[in-house]
Chains A and B, each alone.
Chain A
Amino acid sequence: MVNVRLVGVTKRFGKLEAVRSANLQMSKGEFFTMLGPSGCGKTTTLRIIAGFYTPDEGEVYFDDRLMNYVAVWKRNIGMVFQNYALWPHMNVEENVAYGLRMRKIGKKETEDRVKKSLDLVGLATLERRYPTQLSGGQQQRVALARALVIEPSVLLLDEPLSNLDAKIRASVRSELRRLQQQLKITTIYVTHDQEEALVLSDRIAVMDRGLVQQISTPRELYEKPETSFVADFMGTSNFIKGTLAAIRQDRGLVEVETSSGLLAALGEERLRKGEKVILSVRPEDVIMLEQGRDLAEQGLNRIEGQIKFASYMGSLIRYEAVTKNGEIFKIDLRNPREHKVMQQGEHVTLAFKPTATLVIPLEHGEQASSENTRSS
């Protein structure tokens, strides 16, 4: 078991900088995920750790050993590929035993370890089968068994669940987590699915266009995003542009002047008056009030809007409302059966607590974002 460190790692393909000056640290036994949209550099980084690419700048360390020029086959890593990469001309037993054969492990020991590994992933009886005779879920488990049987220092997983049906994905996911915690292997996981990342990881690095945006625990990432990209990538967010008007002494609140009026939000002391900021509010934190109705609570932020769309999603209804200034607001109404369902065209007041409103300084992220400015 090793810890993995990336120091200032940069990788270019021609003119394209796939990874820019990445600084990452994965502790021994940790489940670390790199999360981001396609092209963000997460797979490139994983392949650098595996040794398929050499960094153009920066270093990769396993514990204290510099790995930049160490050949792939000498790194003692386990890797599960997105397409599993099971060899069709070998059966399950031969696939899993391959790594042990490369290490010249004796016949008896190989047999034992292969058996144990297949037991671990729940495929004990399928040793003689060929990959084409297995289901997607079974293939994935064989790939995992093959990676684990060699007792690697690091386990790398490249979007291993993306080819599975939605139902199986959830159960394999939890099995994966359980297994990792049992074996305590340093695990580095790559995915674009933020729900997966939240469920599996000890810590997550969110990446966008080659840059690491934020590294935090799942909860911190969701509740305290540091950039607008992270705020919108983890779940959904409503964004309001504004200028910092005042800093209140109490409870770490600030006041922000926006086109929808003065709003109160959670902010940090280092913010300065007149600074351009973005406010972020989660759809589940917004309460919709019919015209004329109001809540007794003091100090709520209030914005007027009109409902444009309502999407019934089973456990919640997602509304889209437009404010007077043309901004789009998303509101999630959970437990629809317990509430009044609003109709399209209704005028409503959107209310949310200052403590649910987050300030994101503009210079952290790239630019103020919402659906309008996101380019794929």
Chain B
Amino acid sequence: MLRPSGNLSRKLFSNLGLLSCLLLIYSVMGLFVIYPTGKVFYDSFFVQGSFSFANYLEFFTTPFYQSCFVNSLLLSLVCVLTSSLVGVPLAYILTRYEIRGRGFFRTLATMPLILPPFVGAISFIFLLGRMGTLNLILIDWLGIIKEPINFIYGAHGIIFVETFHLYPLIFLNSAAALSKIDRSLEESSELLGATPFRRFMTVTLRLVTPGYAAGAFLVFVWAFSDFGTPVVLRQYEYLGPQAYLSIIQYVDQRLLRMGLVMTVVMAAFALLSLIIVRRYVAIREYASLALPTPVESIKVKGLKSHLSVLFVSVVMFLSLLPHIGVTIASLGKAWMITPFPTEYTLEYFKKVTIDLPMYIQNSFVFCTIAVILNAGLGLLIAYVLARSKFPGKDLIDSLVTLLLAVPGTVIGIAYLRAFHAPLPLLGISLTQSWAIMVAVLAIRRLPYVVRSVYATLLQIHVSLEEASLVLGGNKIRTFLKITTPLIARGLLVGSIISFTTAMQELTSTAFLYRPGWETMPLGIFIYYLTGGMNEASALGVLLILVVAISVGLANRLVGAKMGAAFGG
């Protein structure tokens, strides 16, 4: 009766498909995630060939670097606070209150995410700089002040720019969490005697925390290691800009070592915050809950209504300011000393499209290939996580989630150092080919596709696949004819998010590009550094258009699920 040996060999054989999938997944993750980041960690601990903490000692005892570290830490914590102060009330107002234009505002609230913050910073130079619109209005038109106010050149500028770019992450997550609260949860607390305030504090806020935590984590990691915005606003005493400057110069070895230390510190803090919120952010948390009966919206009247509308309008205006500024700058000529341009022209647009289509071409080519690669790998990973049983599921889950945490700056530096040398088996150095651009764009977006497909897969009952097996379809045919059509939506949403965020990528590609490989964000950055502010703005407007159209397309195709997949 017992046939143990027969069982074993058959088990292995029938799991051949699974084994080869796992092999592929682990190889890709190993080569493109673990190896590069591991190498950076490794390199930072070695001074002239032997293990030592010398680099770290030097870093943490140098006053300059100490202040960089403290600045970055404080900056990101403050950004989390300010984004929360904007994002959470906004989420509450737009979910629970019935105010006019609610749906419109909700869509507007995702606008900041379609423009990289450093481009917003560039537009602020036009609007809020020393010779910017606001200052000139105050000095020349209104005569209120004599000297220009420094609106943006300082930590406050960075915080302002980052807050109004990042608050949607908190907003979307919190709004999604709020709308998932079944009304009975709040009603029972009311029955038991809680005042609205206490109910909010003890029930509502607690239930929103997981979604909020996921958003806050993303804000923290981003603000901690961004260098685009600080550099544009000429603030260099932060980890991000210092790491960038230290690594891209090849000459000074000490600077290079300090750069490595900063990279590791950024990665470590990202990891730390990931560990704190991992319960809320793991892929497997995307199991869909039963559809709750949502809490009814409140019809607000009087002061409450006016204040809410005021708050929302101000937030929306400030969110759109960068877009407005960039648009004006792209069209305005001779905007040196007047609040608004005196002449308008299309020449900058011509410059960045017809004269030099490289940026747009590169962006589209790289991002499209990256998205296709992502779709394939992400689909495989999500399927394996959702449908198969094997040891080490948590490991894959962690690795993919890790990709969310690791800052672009870190990955860029890691890839530069890891793939500079020729790969062992293939004998070529990846950094010599634009494939490295595609690789870094693809790997950073993987979590979006995996999350999206995973959540969709869980909604598809396994019996739908079993029914196909019973009727004579083998595993491959079942996957193609049944599974794939049903997850098409999730795959599409994940892919579009991948595309739009890849299009905006700067922090990682800045370390890896070579002349001829520049993408649109890189083009903007370089134009800024070389004084071509208007060209930078024109390219910025085009970037906004491309991303906005993609997001609009996605919204059309799959409706409100976009927000949910992006953040919560």
Contacts and interface: CB of A to CB of B under 8 A. Distances in A.
Interface of A: 7-8, 50, 52, 54, 57-59, 69, 71-79, 81-83, 85, 87-89, 98-99, 102-103, 146-147, 150
Contact of B482 (A57, A72, A87, A147): A87
Contacts of B474: 71, 73
B485 A89 contact: yes
Counting chain A CB atoms within 10 Å of each CB, which of B463, B477, B485, B486 scores highest?
Answer: B463
24 contacts: A7-B1, A50-B466, A52-B466, A57-B2, A58-B1, A59-B1, A69-B6, A72-B466, A72-B470, A73-B470, A73-B472, A73-B474, A76-B472, A78-B470, A79-B466, A81-B467, A85-B464, A87-B464, A87-B468, A87-B486, A99-B472, A102-B477, A146-B471, A150-B471
A77 B470 contact: yes
Contacts of A57: 1-2
A54 B15 CA distance: 13
B39 to A, nearest CB: 40
B469 interface: yes
Nearest to B481: A98
A85 B467 contact: yes
Interface residues of B, number: 21
Contacts of B471: 73, 98-99, 102, 146, 150
A103 B461 contact: no
A71 B7 CA distance: 14
B472 A81 contact: no
A8 B472 contact: no
B10 interface: yes
Contacts of B467: 79, 81, 85, 87, 146
Contacts of B10: 54, 69
- Residue of B7, B472, B485 ringed by the most chain A CB atoms within 10 A: B472
Contacts, number: 66
A73 B469 contact: yes
Contact of A72 (B7, B464, B469): B469
Contacts of A73: 469-474
A81 B482 CA distance: 16
Contact of B472 (A50, A85, A88, A102): A102
A150 B468 CA distance: 13
Nearest to B486: A89
A59 B7 CA distance: 12
A123 B464 CA distance: 21
Interface in B248-272: none
B463 A81 contact: yes
The interface residues of chain B, by DSSP majority, are classed as helix
The 3 closest A-B pairs by CB, nearest first: A102-B472, A99-B471, A85-B467
A85 B466 contact: yes
Contacts of A71: 474
A102 B461 contact: no
Nearest to A156: B470
A146 B2 CA distance: 36
Contacts of B2: 57
Contacts of B463: 81-83, 85
Nearest to A104: B472
Nearest to B469: A72
Contacts of A147: 470
A18 to B, nearest CB: 16
Contacts of B472: 73-74, 76, 99, 102-103, 150
Interface in B144-171: none
A54 B7 contact: yes
A88 B485 CA distance: 10
Contacts of B482: 87
Contacts of A7: 1
Contacts of A102: 471-473, 477
Contacts of A50: 466, 470
A365 B469 CA distance: 38
Contacts of A98: 468, 471, 473
A218 B66 CA distance: 83
A147 B470 CA distance: 9
Contacts of A99: 471-472
Nearest to B11: A54
B409 to A, nearest CB: 43
A8 B477 contact: no
A72 B478 CA distance: 12
A308 B10 CA distance: 61
A240 B471 CA distance: 50
A188 to B, nearest CB: 13
A83 B470 contact: no
Contacts of A82: 463
Interface string B473-492: 11001000010011000000
Contacts of A87: 464, 467-468, 482, 486
Contacts of A79: 466-467, 470
A246 B6 CA distance: 55
Nearest to B472: A102
B47 to A, nearest CB: 51
Contact of A88 (B1, B470, B486): B486
Max chain B C-beta neighbours (<10 A), residue from A50, A72, A77, A89? A72
Contacts of A89: 485-486
B466 A81 contact: yes
A79 B474 CA distance: 16
Contacts of B486: 87-89
A58 B471 CA distance: 25
- Among A52, A58, A88, A89, residue most surrounded by chain B Cβ atoms (within 10 Å): A89
Given A57-B2, A89-B485, A98-B468, 12 more contacts: A52-B466, A69-B10, A72-B466, A74-B472, A78-B470, A85-B461, A85-B467, A87-B467, A87-B468, A102-B471, A102-B473, A150-B471
A195 to B, nearest CB: 25
Contacts of B469: 52, 72-73
Interface in B1-29: 1-2, 6-7, 10
A15 B486 CA distance: 35
Nearest to A78: B470
A130 to B, nearest CB: 13
Contacts of A85: 461, 463-464, 466-467
A77 B466 CA distance: 12
Contacts of A69: 6, 10
Q: By CB atoms of chain A within 10 A, which of B1, B473, B474, B482 has the most?
A: B1
Nearest to B477: A102
Nearest to A99: B471
Nearest to A95: B467
A159 B6 CA distance: 33
